[in-house]
Chains A and B, each alone.
Chain A
Amino acid sequence: MTARVFTDGSRAIVRGALDAGCTFFAGYPITPASPILMMMMRELPARGGVAVQGEDEIASIGMCIGATMAGARAMTATSGPGISLYSENIGLAVMGEVPLVIVDVQRLGPATGGATTVGQGDVQFVRWGTGGGFPIIALAPSTVPECYSLTMRAFDLAERFRVPVFVVTDKELNLTLRSVDAAALEPQPVRARATRTGLEGPPYRYEPPGDVPPLGRFGDEVVRFTGSTHDEEALITKAPATVGALNRHLAAKIDDHRDEIELCTGDRQGGARTLVISYGITAGAVRDAVRDLRSDGIAVSSLVVHSLWPVPETAIAGALDGVERVVVPELNLGQYRREIERLAGGCEVVGVNRVDGELISPALVREAVA
């Protein structure tokens, strides 16, 4: 028997950030993300980093972006109402190609909604949460150990593509204590920042479109940064050829490298005609239900999506093979079901949905499958 810790998603995310080499954190108090802020305020400085409580959410993510351009590896954490305030700066991080990890601990919405109740209502919001339109990376842990590993992975992908990366969790995953085998917190490789030496040419590069140049650091050399449409020297331009190349580059960074990002866990049962696709906290109830259904002799397959965005289309297409019915349980009114429906071909797609602050139980999943 192994040693275990009694821990939760908040702690696992903090540990993941620290182990990934996070050096800067800024956040604003909001339930249910505040424990991350409080732990980072204590733990990060003890490791030589800087943690600060911003005057609001806008300042918090703004400070993270500034600090990153001065060489920091930054994370911020909030909940849906805070993501609303992050919106403009998410766009800035995309446009300026700033690596950054944004944790969204979802609560029941809209507006102040239910501060201490669970929800998964931000799934499409994180995808489309800023003006202009662009691809985004969003990872969704479904267990406490995944909160740890996917936070580390988020830091890695942020560096790889010079983009903001979301870690999308919820109140339940972050605040419910669970026993976890100490050995289950598996560190992920996190690449070091590719920092400019000054010999690489301009700070931005649009050709080939998916290419990601190293990041300059204020203080080491003269570095230019802008959130306006810009040429490769970061000078503002409206020249259509340049602006088009810039925007296609921002999309291609992610679209051309989906195989490096997409992530899910399949649990296929031969002969199963029903597939359950889930993510986040809801995947726990699905694992429980699948076990019971199978022990009752009912064949069922399961796919847990870990990269909400980009949608793991290849894996979903593979999992749909031979399936007649797809069940998508989620704590919203079918936000991710839309993505499944567009991929499902002739399959029937049914949702199991709750927006009352209660969890979807294994019994509800079993009913929908059987």
Chain B
Amino acid sequence: MTSTIVPLGTYRNETPYPFCPGCGHGTILDHLNGALVDLCLDPAQVVIVTDIGCAGLSDQYFATSAFHGLHGRSLTYATGIKLARPELHVIVVMGDGGTGIGGAHFLTAARRNIGLTLLVFNNFNFGMTGGQHSTTTPTGSVTSTTPGGNPERPLDICATAAVNGAAYVYRGTSFDDDLSVRIAEAIVTPGFAVLDIWELCTAYFVPSNKFGKRSLEATQRDMGLATGVIERRSVADYAAAVREGAASVGSGELEQQVEPMFAPGVDRPVRIVVAGSAGGKVQSAVRLAGEAAIACGLHATQRNDYPVTVKTGHSVAELIIGPDPIDYTGIDRPDALVILSTDGLRKAAAYLPRMDPADRVFLAPQVPAVATAATVEVIDPATLGLRVARTDLALTLLVVALERLAAIPAAALEEAARAGPSHTVTNLNAIEQGRRLAGV
């Protein structure tokens, strides 16, 4: 698209810069303009994304597209723009402050190698808000918030970007003659390009620290910092990689339609709670029962409860089935309670005193005896010489419970197991064990 562009003499508009005399911002922006002129880009295809502070004003002096957002977040907006339209040239202008408040975004942009050009206008303090110290203030420097000298170690922007994978890393100053060449190089580099450009804030940092042009290079030397082009890597651009990676993953099935094919077993809502342990496939068993209920022309709801640490402790699933739509999915008193383990018993104990003799409790053999008015039945596979795996117990006992309640026939569960995406053989086996224990 850029090949059809009539070369422009400038990408600046007519508005003069608002910066203080001697401020480095205007110089760097002139170099940015020089880079754009050299590259001959379509101004509509160039988006200058600005952070906050004096440098955040920069986009207003260019005839390109512009996005001026919130402090520290410029890299996030730029990433969204680049992901949505990878062909755009997205240039982020940020002060040193942005590398602090937006530190996570800076690290992530480097790791991702998203194809952005980040210009850090690094003058070691917050100019617009009154000369406070920033992440890059040299140790010992005086600012309005470090009157006794900055006790913090400054962030090495370039080393951080380089070690995290950035494709192009440069450190220089606003006085570098070749700055526009470096900026142009960065813009055409696939992947994340960072230019840490040291400059003077004549309003605050310069007078507070008797700092001048020579101090910039002296400080870099004293701190042992590399300068010039520090890193150049050939990398895949993230926006392209995201699209390619995603193309290899097919669409899944959000939900599966179930056709009614069995007679409804119940004419009123039936509420069943299955309480076991994590890893016991409680929820997938109840899900099969829900799908089986739908295959019987019924409505169903399934509400799961488990601790935040998913693979330990209890796993409880509440199933409601009935002929009418179910508006309230909570269960205050279940018609049947299936308890598979002591974890499950702990969680289900609250239901027991609310149940009466018409209600049923089904216990796995390893569960201690319970005190309740409900009718209790221990389902012990060993009585038939069966050995049911721990992960099948939920489905096996649920089949028994559903048969005892005459709520859902085992055949409907078998149909749901066959229609399911996985574990068909295991599930059919668990249902078969349940059938034998239920004597059907």
For B258, the chain A residues whose CB sits under 8 A away are 3-6
Docked-complex contact B294 and A179, CB < 8 angstroms: yes
B251 contact set on A, CB distance < 8 A: 42-43, 46-47
Contact in complex: B328, A284 (CB < 8 Å): yes
A: interface residue count bin: 35 or more
A334 to chain B, nearest CB (A): 21
Partner of A67, one of B49, B73, B81, B105: B81
Contact B104 A59 (CB under 8 A): yes
Complex formed: what's the CA distance from A366 to B350 in Å?
23
Residue of B47, B69, B249, B250 touching A62 (CB-CB under 8 A)? B69
Chain A residue with Cβ nearest B42 = A219
Q: Which residues of A contact B85 (CB under 8 A)?
A: 70-71, 218-219
Q: Does B171 contact A (CB under 8 A)?
A: no
The smallest beta-carbon distance between A365 and chain B, in angstroms, is 9
CB-defined contacts of B255 to chain A, threshold 8 Å: 5-7, 11, 15
Residues 271 to 312 of chain A near chain B (Cβ within 8 Å): 284-285, 287-288, 291
User: Which single member of A2, A39, A56, A176 contacts B302 (CB below 8 Å)?
Assistant: A176
Q: Is there an interface contact between A43 and B252, defined as CB atoms closer than 8 Å?
A: yes
Q: Which residue of B lies closest to A39 (CB)?
A: B254
Interface string of B294-322 (1 = CB under 8 A from A): 10011111111111100000000000000
Closest Cβ neighbor of B47 among chain A residues: A218
Interface presence of A266 (CB below 8 A): no
The B-contacting residues of A in range 1-49, CB under 8 angstroms, are: 1-7, 11, 14-15, 23-24, 26, 31, 39, 42-47
| Residues of chain B within 8 A of A236, CB atoms compared | 57, 60, 68
For the complex, is B9 an interface residue (Cβ under 8 Å from A)? no
B65 contact from A14, A218, A361, Cβ within 8 A? A218
Q: Is the CB–CB distance between A1 and B297 below 8 Å? A: yes
What residues on B are CB-neighbors of A71 within 8 Å?
84-85
A69 located at the interface, meaning its Cβ lies under 8 Å from any Cβ of chain B in the complex: yes
Interface centre among A44, A218, A359 (most CB of B within 10 A): A218
Tell me the dominant secondary structure on chain A's binding face: mixed
Residues on A with C-beta less than 8 A from B82 are 66
**A52 contacts the other chain (Cβ, under 8 Å)?**
yes
Query: Considering only CB atoms, which chain B residue lies closest to A198 in the complex?
Result: B44
Partner of A11, one of B63, B254, B257: B254
Determine if A115 and B308 form an interchain contact, defined as CB atoms under 8 angstroms apart: yes
Chain B 49-76 near chain A by CB (<8 Å), digits 1 or 0: 1000000010110011111111001001
Q: How far is B180's CA from A247's CA once the two chains are assembled, in angstroms?
A: 40
Q: Which residues of chain A come closer than 8 Å to B87, judged between CB atoms?
A: 219
Taken together as a complex, chains A and B put the C-alpha atoms of A26 and B76 apart, in Å, by 11
A146 at the interface (CB under 8 A from B): no
Q: Which residues of B contact A96 (CB under 8 A)?
A: 69
Contacts A176-B329, A179-B300 given; indicate if A5 touches B77 (C-beta within 8 A).
no
Interface magnitude class on chain B: 35 or more
B290: interface (CB < 8 Å): yes
Question: Which of B132-140, B145-153, B207-215, B239-247 lines the interface with chain A?
Answer: B239-247
CB distance from B323 to the nearest CB of A (A): 11
Q: Is the CB of B68 within 8 A of A285?
A: no
| B105: contacting residue among A2, A46, A50, A55, CB under 8 A | A55
A133 within 8 A of B: no
**A285 near B79: Cβ-Cβ < 8 Å:** no
Q: Are the CB atoms of A179 and B246 closer together than 8 Å?
A: no
**In the complex, what distance in Å separates the CA atom of A241 from the CA atom of B382?**
85
Q: Does B391 contact A (CB under 8 A)?
A: no
Given the contacts A7-B255, A62-B73, A172 and B303 also touching, CB distance less than 8 Å? yes
- Give chain B nearest CB distance to A235 CB in angstroms: 6
A19 to chain B, nearest CB (A): 11
A62-B73, A178-B300, A359-B328 known; A31 and B308 CB under 8 Å? yes
Tell me if A4 and B249 are in contact (CB < 8 A).
no
A96–B280 alpha-carbon span in the complex (Å): 50
Chain A residues near B332 (CB, 8 Å)? 361, 363
Residues of B within 8 A of A62 (CB): 69-70, 73, 76-77, 79-80, 105
Q: Could you say which of B64, B84, B88, B301 contacts A177, with CB atoms under 8 Å apart? A: B301
Q: Are B83 and A45 in contact (CB under 8 A)?
A: no
- Mark A157-178 against chain B: 1 for CB-CB distance below 8 A, else 0: 0000000000000001001111
Contact pick for A59, options B64, B108, B297, B330, CB 8 Å? B108
Q: Any chain A CB within 8 A of the CB of B96?
A: no
In contact, B329 and A6 (Cβ under 8 angstroms): no
B260 on the A face (CB < 8 A) = yes
| Given contact pairs A7-B255, A359-B330, A64 touches B249 in the complex (Cβ within 8 A) | no
- Whole-angstrom distance between the Cβ of A369 and the nearest chain B Cβ: 15
Contact with B along A216-255 (1 / 0, CB 8 A): 0011111111111000001110000000000000000000
Given the contacts A3-B258, A50-B84, A179 and B68 also touching, CB distance less than 8 Å: no
The answer to the question of A79 belonging to the interface, with a C-beta cut-off of 8 Å to chain B, is no
Name the residue of chain B whose CB is nearest to the CB of A38: B252
List 12 A-B pairs, Cβ < 8 Å: A6-B258, A7-B254, A46-B251, A50-B242, A50-B246, A52-B83, A59-B73, A179-B325, A221-B44, A236-B68, A284-B329, A285-B328
New A-B contacts (6) at CB < 8 Å, excluding given A4-B299, A6-B302: A11-B255, A54-B76, A63-B83, A66-B79, A66-B84, A178-B326
The 4 closest A-B pairs by CB, nearest first: A66-B80, A45-B246, A62-B76, A63-B80
> A-side interface residues toward B, CB under 8 Å?
1-7, 11, 14-15, 23-24, 26, 31, 39, 42-47, 50-52, 54-56, 58-59, 62-72, 74, 88-89, 92, 96, 115-116, 172, 175-179, 182, 218-228, 234-236, 284-285, 287-288, 291, 358-359, 361-363
